[in-house]
Amino acid sequence: MKLEGKTALITGASSGIGKEFAYLLSRKGMNLVLNARSKDKLEEIKKNIESRSRVRVDIVVDDLSTNSAPKRIFNIIQRRGINIDLLVNNAGFGYIGDFEKEDYDKNREMIMVNVLSMTSLSRLFIPQMIQRGEGGIINVASLAGMRPFPYAATYAATKSYVYSFSQALWEEYRKKGIIVSCLCPGLTKTNFGKVAGREEMFERGLDPKIVAEEALIGFLEKEPIVVPEAHKNFMIEYGSKFIPRKKILEMAGKVFRVKHK
């Protein structure tokens, strides 16, 4: 898939992996549509990118935790006459801790952003890609989506959905010129840890710039699943078929368990 001159929609583009995708794709000559809740942060990224390149950067401020956001974003882009060639479903957040202590509304918002909005945006933009005979989607999942994760039960379950959904679409649309790739990073230095309440855990994570770069390489190689090289050892150990299920759950629990005083 040729990137130069095409347009990418990036959700959750105000920080972390989404922000790095914006800078990376702009260097490849792609025009951008950036989505997040923070207008100020998006404006700053837009200004920085347009000052160093000739690409066009549009902004759509909206909250993907609301049910009507995907359709609003889609309609705005249509009114502006923009064709989306690459959809990067990056927006998402999580919670780490005891399930019964998780805020009820935040739990529902997590499912809305990580699952429902990601699915809806894919559904809205794929038909246009089919008409053009070309397009792509990068869905950001997580290594946590490959197995159940106690103390991050809802988050891991949402990313399991992304993991399964993306692979199914990869097979369904690859012969129609559409590449669907699922990025599965491990610990990454983003705001995720702060939002999830475990900021210290993510301080040793991978640079989000490296994650975005490896994701794009995997996407262009038409890989259905992309795991950053630095995280593959964890995937091999945690995904082993030779470790009993109870032991795997115990191992996972030790990763995210919140120690009580």
What pLDDT was estimated at residue 237? 47
- Is 2 part of a structural domain of the chain? no
Paired tokens of 18: 């989404």
**CA gap 135, 173 in Å, rounded:** 10
pTM: 0.88
Q: Which amino acid is at 207?
A: D
Give pLDDT tens digits for 97-120.
899 999 999 999 999 999 999 999
What pLDDT was estimated at residue 261? 34
Active site includes 163? Answer: no
Q: Which domain holds residue 79?
A: 7-256
**CA gap 55, 78 in Å, rounded:** 19
Contact present, 152 and 143 (Cβ < 8 Å): no
**Annotated catalytic residue within 95, 155, 161, 173:** 155
- Is 59 part of a structural domain of the chain? yes
- Is 148 part of a structural domain of the chain? yes
3-state secondary structure of 204: helix
Instruction: Outline where DSSP puts E strands in 106-189.
Output: 135-140, 178-183
What CATH number does the domain containing 111 carry? 3.40.50.720
- Is 66 part of a structural domain of the chain? yes
- Is 261 part of a structural domain of the chain? no
Q: Is the dihedral of CA 121, 126, 131, 136 positive or negative?
A: positive
Buried b (16+ CB within 10 A) or exposed e, 80-106: eebebbbbbbbbbbbbbeeeeebeeee
- Is 1 part of a structural domain of the chain? no
Give pLDDT tens digits for 20-37.
999 999 999 999 999 999
> Looking at the predicted structure, is the pLDDT value of residue 66 above 80?
yes
Contact present, 193 and 147 (Cβ < 8 Å): no
Q: Report how many domains make up the chain.
A: 1
